[in-house]
Structure 1
Amino acid sequence: MTVVFECVYDNRRHLGLGVPEDGANLRLYPLAGDTLTTLLRGAGGDAEAAVAALTGRRTPVDLLAADRRRVRVLPPLLPEHPGDALVSGFMMTHNVKVDAAVPDQPNWFVKGFGDVLKAPGEPLSVPGDAVAVCEEAEVVLVYTGDDRGVPRYTGYTFGNDLTDIGRFKQHAGHLSYAKLCDAGVAPWLHLGEPPRSVTGEVTIERDGVPAWKGPFTTGTDALHYDLPTMMSRLFAHEALHRPGRVHYVYIGADRSSFHSGFRAADGDRVTIDVATHGVRLSHTLAWTPRLAAGSAPRPGEE
């Protein structure tokens, strides 16, 4: 499986291959004005051609482990302008969460534009009036709009679809509000078909001490729905078509800490260890100040 990532080093964008091991040296390739999206599109889905396109005629930059602190990894294929990326997802997709009386297409929601995506180590913002927040360890599909705007599958990564599940439990019609938390995402883009089986463990630390742990299972085998059908129906809507737009689609989660009775709090640190794929992402939860009643701008106000 070919894995690529993008980062900023010395204020310039670079790309790398594979999932770097902790404490290891790092080899990067300057993008030199190119975009990772364009290079991958030119490879036409051929992983070997993609690697050749990404590394050919580029002088590598080799960093010692001590210099890796100067590297800032980015969400995969994140455009320069966050408005050119849409973050969305499906809910209630897994077999453990659905029953026989379900629609033939799960509910879809929007989390925001590209700036809601947070790389490992960055805090995840939670609305100040959140009712009960939980992590959701998920596969994230990445699509890019072709020259006609039609989203084309590029690869997958993993993420944390942080959700105010308490708000949704109070009122099922408030799913759209429940999803307006930041989303964690791993920077490592896997150039292959969505994984059939993904397993791992979530750890939530409070004051530096593990407060909750639990396993998770996801991947296409865990879905109640047919993934290609889900995606084709979603992207049949031309409102989502725009050349160059990057789509990050979270495809749903297994049970979370909420279902075990745990309640996340401000300052908790959530770590998702995707054991099957050697990927780990960790974020601190940060509640935003609660707005006082009537303090939000009204139409026409500045």
Structure 2
Amino acid sequence: MTVLFECTYGDERYVGLGIPAADAPLRLYPALGVELAKMVREFGHDETLLRDALTADRSPVDVPVSEISAVRMRPPLLPEHVGDALVSGFMMTHNVKADATVPDQPNWFVKGLGDVLKVPGQPLSVPADAVAVTEEAEVVLVYVDDEDAVPRYAGYTFGNDLTDIGLFKRHAGHLSYAKLCDTAVAPWLHLGAPPSSVTGEVTIERAGEVAWKAGFTTGTDALHYDLDTMVSRLFSYRSLHHPGRVHYVFIGADRSSFHGGFRTEHGDRVVLDFTSHGVTLSNPLAWAR
């Protein structure tokens, strides 16, 4: 399966292939002003064509290990203008949490525009008056609206749908506010179909020590609802669409540290290890002041 990422290096935009290995040189290809989202939309059905389009007639740039820290990863397919990205998701979709009173379609929420997307290492901001904040390890589907504003599936990545679950538990009608926290996403865009099974581990560190740890399971096999039905019904609302808009859709999470009785604090570091797919997200939490 092809994995793509986009980054900046020396104030220039580049595209890379694969998940970079730790402590290894990084090969990048000049973006040359080409919109990656448009290329994925046009050639994503054929990974060979897409690879050729990204690399043909473009001299690669090899970044030595000593300069890797100068490379800045970007959320996958993030538009130049953050207002052209919509970040949203479904809640209580997994078999372990599904609401039996909602038989056909789970609740949907909006997290924000493209500026709520953070990459590993960046702080995740939550409201100053948050009640009880928890991590949610999730698969994130990425769609790009074409010239006719029709959403086209581009691929998937992984994310942390940080949520003020305490606010939601206090009043279920306040879900829309509870979701207005930053979210971390992996820079790597996987071009295949959404994964059926994803397993991993959450670790929460406090003052450099492990404060809480547990495993999680997600993926389409863990869903109580049919994913295609969920997405098609959501995207049937034309008001969501605009040519070129990129959608990041979180499809729900397994139980979290909150369900395990743990309460996060300002300065805690949340590490999500999506072990089955070789992806790790590590971000500190920052209560707004």
Find the counterpart in structure 2 of residue 205 from structure 1. 205
Find the counterpart in structure 2 of residue 234 from structure 1. 234
In the TM superposition, residue 241 of structure 1 has moved relative to its aligned partner by 1.2
For residue 210 of structure 1, give the secondary structure of its aligned residue in structure 2.
Answer: strand
Q: Which runs of 5 or more structure 2 residues have no equivalent in the other structure?
A: none
- Percent identity between the aligned chains? 69
C-alpha separation in 1, matches of 2:214 and 2:44: 39
Find the counterpart in structure 2 of residue 58 from structure 1. 58
C-alpha separation in 2, matches of 1:244 and 1:95: 34
Find the counterpart in structure 2 of residue 267 from structure 1. 267
C-alpha separation in 2, matches of 1:38 and 1:60: 21
For residue 252 of structure 2, give the secondary structure of its aligned residue in structure 1.
Answer: strand
Structure-1-length-normalised TM-score: 0.94
- Give matches, 1:145-156, under 5 Å: 145-156=145-156
Find the counterpart in structure 2 of residue 112 from structure 1. 112
Find the counterpart in structure 2 of residue 297 from structure 1. none
Q: State how many pairs are aligned.
A: 289
For residue 97 of structure 1, give the secondary structure of its aligned residue in structure 2.
Answer: coil
For residue 149 of structure 1, give the secondary structure of its aligned residue in structure 2.
Answer: coil
Find the counterpart in structure 2 of residue 33 from structure 1. 33
Residues 264-301 of structure 1, C-alpha deviations (whole Å, 9 max, x = no match): 00000000000010001100000002xxxxxxxxxxxx
In the TM superposition, residue 255 of structure 1 has moved relative to its aligned partner by 0.3
For residue 156 of structure 2, give the secondary structure of its aligned residue in structure 1.
Answer: strand
Aligned: 1:277 with 2:277: yes
Find the counterpart in structure 2 of residue 258 from structure 1. 258
C-alpha separation in 1, matches of 2:217 and 2:42: 34
Find the counterpart in structure 1 of residue 43 from structure 2. 43
C-alpha separation in 2, matches of 1:36 and 1:162: 27
- Give matches, 1:100-249, under 5 Å: 100-249=100-249
Residues 198-250 of structure 1, C-alpha deviations (whole Å, 9 max, x = no match): 00001000001010001000000000000000000000000011000000000
The answer to whether the 8 Å contact 2:44/2:154 transfers is no
Q: Which amino acid aligns with 1:130?
A: A
The answer to whether the 8 Å contact 2:92/2:99 transfers is no
Q: Which runs of 5 or more structure 1 residues have no equivalent in the other structure?
A: 290-302
In the TM superposition, residue 99 of structure 1 has moved relative to its aligned partner by 4.9
Aligned: 1:89 with 2:89: yes
In the TM superposition, residue 101 of structure 1 has moved relative to its aligned partner by 2.9
Q: Which amino acid aligns with 1:279?
A: V
C-alpha separation in 2, matches of 1:42 and 1:8: 23
> Any runs of at least 4 consecutive aligned residues in structure 1 with deviations exceeding 4 A, and if so which?
none
For residue 7 of structure 2, give the secondary structure of its aligned residue in structure 1.
Answer: strand
Q: Which amino acid aligns with 1:135?
A: E
CA RMSD after TM alignment: 0.8
For residue 154 of structure 2, give the secondary structure of its aligned residue in structure 1.
Answer: strand
C-alpha separation in 2, matches of 1:42 and 1:62: 27
